[in-house]
Amino acid sequence: MPLPVQMTAVEISEPGGPGVLRAVERAVPLPSQGEVLIRVAYAGVNRPDALQRAGSYRAPLGASDLPGLECSGWIAAIGPGVSGWMVGDPVCALLPGGGYAEFATCPAAHLIKVPKWLPLKDAACLPETCFTVWSNVVMRGGLRAGERFLVHGGSSGIGTTAIQIARGLGARVFATAGSAEKCAACAELGATAINYREADFVEVLKAAGGADLILDMVGGSYIGRDLRALADDGRLVFIAFLEGPKADINFAQVMMRRLTVTGSTLRPQSDAAKAAIAREIRAHVWPMLQAGRLRVIHDSEFALTEAAAAHARMESSAHIGKIVLRVG
């Protein structure tokens, strides 16, 4: 099938609220060296998309200005220097941007083949969360079987993935969330759920012996409390600062209790670093999916042209799990 010249995409017309997302016609992008062109079936919606739209998270140099960090679909064209893929292959991909569109380009090394047993809607929701969770919880945080793991925002896209992957690795999992319904969702996935409006996660974790690893997306007032909730030799990994990046902390405990504080963001990392994470996902996370130990928790589905409503849903924080855009 010949490629169209034009496609529908959703762009950020100016920094602002969900209403600044606008459906437009754009030229279909061409794959460069080492890239493929994907005909997008579904695009996952992530909190960083909302931050980009609001003007507080810039696309890295060279990335599409369109939002969208993950998608599923079919390979529509193959760029120079790419081998091992064929037009029509079903894939999902971590994107540097550009997923809110009918076509998106992506380095071939960041593709993951979608097996027959995995619906494309599920596949679109996996790359951003799986790459983030695996690289921060396992590769950076070093989570091992038998350890106590705490994730904040347990009902989020990241949180629901982190709970299941940590359980799959044999960890004992704790998760914070802000309502009884969200706590029930975390508990159903195997976490000890802590409603942070009713209980102090520091006390819960201390009573259990302390957290060996914490994955935090909140920051702010949680920073000092995270350190207190850690067991000796514990590790704290930051992936976002929804409540702010600053805190007045006594760092003596980091030294006295041999704590490690680290963190990372996925998007600005090199293509080679993302390719290394992709290899680990294929080897370790895809088998968990196939075995049914990891599943996508779907919150809601919107058409591509309803991206503003999808962002409003995300920013309401009423959602549990993933929000997805239906594209093709």
Ligand X SMILES: NC(=O)c1ccc[n+]([C@@H]2O[C@H](COP(=O)([O-])OP(=O)(O)OC[C@H]3O[C@@H](n4cnc5c(N)ncnc54)[C@H](OP(=O)(O)O)[C@@H]3O)[C@@H](O)[C@H]2O)c1
How many Cα atoms sit within 13 Å of 279 on the Cβ side?
7
Rounded to the nearest 10 degrees, the angle between the axes of helix 47-54 and helix 307-316 is 110
Distance (Å, whole) CA 194 – CA 174? 7
For 157, half-sphere exposure in the C-beta direction (CA atoms, 13 angstrom radius) is: 25
CB 70 to ligand X: min, Å = 10
Q: Enumerate binding residues for ligand X (CB under 6 A).
A: 46-48, 51, 128, 132, 153, 155-158, 177-178, 182, 217-218, 239-240, 242-243, 264-266, 314, 317
Contacts of residue 262, defined as CB under 8 A and 6 or more positions apart, other chains included, come to 140, 141, 235, 236, 237, 238
Instruction: State which residue, 217 or 231, has the beta carbon closest to ligand X.
Output: 217
CB of 219 to ligand X, least distance (A): 9
**Contact of 320 with 24, CB cutoff 8 Å:** no
Residue nearest ligand X (C-beta atom): 156
Q: Supply the minimum distance, in Å, between the C-beta of residue 245 and ligand X.
A: 12
Residue 311 and residue 49 in contact, taking contact as beta carbons nearer than 8 Å: yes
> 321 to each of 11, 67, 215, how far by Cα in Å?
24, 19, 17
Q: Which amino acid is at 52?
A: Q
- Contacts of residue 17, Cβ cutoff 8 Å, sequence gap at least 6: 54
> For ligand X, which is the closer residue by CB, 103 or 134?
134
Cα distance between residue 58 and residue 282, in whole Å? 29
Shortest distance (Å) from residue 322 CB to ligand X: 8
Nearer to ligand X, 78 or 106 (CB): 106
Q: In this complex, which beta carbon is closest to ligand X, that of residue 82 or of residue 217?
A: 217
Identify which of residues 179 and 253 has a Cβ nearer to ligand X in the complex: 179
Assign 157 to helix, strand or coil.
Answer: helix
Q: Which is nearer to ligand X, 36 or 125 (CB)?
A: 125
**Least CB distance to ligand X at residue 199 (A):** 13
Min CB(71)–ligand X separation in Å: 15
Is 89 or 243 the residue whose CB approaches ligand X more closely?
243
Q: Smallest distance, Å, CB 132 to ligand X?
A: 4
